[in-house]
C-alpha cells in the first residue's frame, strides 16, 4: 500500500494498492468512466442507494461531488476513493470513509458501490480490506461502522469477510430510493481479528 503526501498531513493523497486493485481519490478526468459505469449499473445500484437526482450523472453534478470530497479530505471529515483494476486502470466502483469523528470517538462510516459487471468476484471484499488498513494504520481510527439493508446479502457477506460484527438493527435508518428503510449495523474495531489482515496480500 502506498500513501502520497503533498505538503501537509491534512492533504494526504492516498493511493491504496493490493489484491490487484488500486484505490485513489476521484479526479476530474474520471468523469466519463464514472458516468458510463453508473449509467450501465443503474438498475443494480438504485435499490441500495439514496434516490438519484435528475442530473445525477451530469458533469456539473460530478464536479460538485468532487468539491464535496476534496473539502471533506482537507478537513479530515472524509476520504473518497475510486476503485480500479490495477492491470487495466478500469474503474469498477467507489468507496468512502465518511463522517470521520475524532476526539474520544475516532470512528468513521464506511460506504461502497460496485458496477454490476464486477460483482461476485471478491472485488469489494478486497477493496474494503485495503480501506480498513488505511483507516486503522494511517488515519489511526479506532472503529469503522457500516450499515446495510437486511436484504443486501452481498454487502453483508463483504462485511463479515472483513471481520465486521453485527451490532443491531436501526429502524428507518436511511432514506433509500425514496423510502425510509431499516438497516443492520456493523462495526470493525482496530484490534478485532481481520481475515484479510495487512500482509495477507
Domain ranges of the chain: 2-143
**pLDDT beyond 70 at 4:** no
Helix (H, G, I), strand (E, B) or coil at 197: coil
Look up residue 91 and give its three cell numbers.
474503474
- Tens of pLDDT along 7-31? 333 455 789 999 999 999 999 999 9
CA distances from residue 190 to 106, 108, 138, 164, 187 in whole angstroms, order as listed: 10, 12, 12, 11, 10
CA distances from residue 136 to 74, 117, 127, 154, 161 in whole angstroms, order as listed: 19, 30, 14, 24, 17
Contact between 124 and 131 under an 8 Å Cβ cutoff? The reply is no
Looking at residue 12, its pLDDT comes to 58
- Tens of pLDDT along 133-165? 999 999 999 999 999 999 999 999 999 999 999
Chain centroid offset of residue 17 CA: 15
- Tens of pLDDT along 101-141? 999 999 999 999 999 999 999 999 999 999 999 999 999 99
- Tens of pLDDT along 54-104? 999 999 999 999 999 999 999 999 999 999 999 999 999 999 999 999 999
- CATH code linked to domain 2-143: 3.40.630.30
| Spatial separation of the C-alpha atoms in residues 169 and 179, rounded to whole Å | 17
Query: What beta strand segments (E) does 68-142 contain?
Result: 79-85, 91-101, 107-114
Helix axes 59-74, 31-40, angle to 10 degrees: 110
CA distances from residue 44 to 28, 115, 117 in whole angstroms, order as listed: 24, 8, 10
- Compare 16 and 2 and report the one with higher pLDDT: 16
Amino acid at each position: 500500500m502506498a500513501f502520497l503526501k503533498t505538503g501537509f498531513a491534512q492533504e494526504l493523497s492516498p493511493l491504496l494498492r493490493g489484491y490487484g486493485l488500486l484505490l485513489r481519490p476521484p479526479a476530474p478526468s474520471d468523469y466519463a468512466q464514472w458516468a458510463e459505469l453508473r449509467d450501465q449499473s443503474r438498475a443494480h445500484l438504485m435499490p441500495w442507494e439514496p434516490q438519484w437526482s435528475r442530473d445525477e450523472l451530469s458533469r456539473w453534478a460530478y464536479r460538485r461531488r468532487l468539491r464535496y470530497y476534496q473539502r471533506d479530505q482537507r478537513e479530515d471529515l472524509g476520504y473518497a476513493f475510486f476503485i480500479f483494476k490495477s492491470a487495466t486502470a478500469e474503474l469498477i466502483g467507489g468507496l468512502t470513509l465518511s463522517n470521520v469523528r475524532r476526539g474520544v470517538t475516532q470512528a468513521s462510516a464506511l460506504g461502497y458501490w460496485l458496477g454490476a459487471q464486477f460483482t461476485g468476484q471478491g472485488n469489494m471484499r478486497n477493496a474494503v480490506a485495503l480501506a480498513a488498513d488505511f483507516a486503522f494504520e494511517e488515519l489511526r481510527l479506532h472503529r469503522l461502522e457500516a450499515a446495510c439493508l437486511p436484504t443486501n446479502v452481498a454487502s453483508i457477506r463483504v462485511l463479515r469477510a472483513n471481520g465486521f460484527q453485527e451490532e443491531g438493527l436501526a429502524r428507518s435508518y436511511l432514506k433509500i430510493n425514496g423510502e425510509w428503510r431499516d438497516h443492520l449495523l456493523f462495526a470493525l474495531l482496530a484490534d478485532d481479528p481481520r481475515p484479510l489482515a495487512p500482509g495477507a496480500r
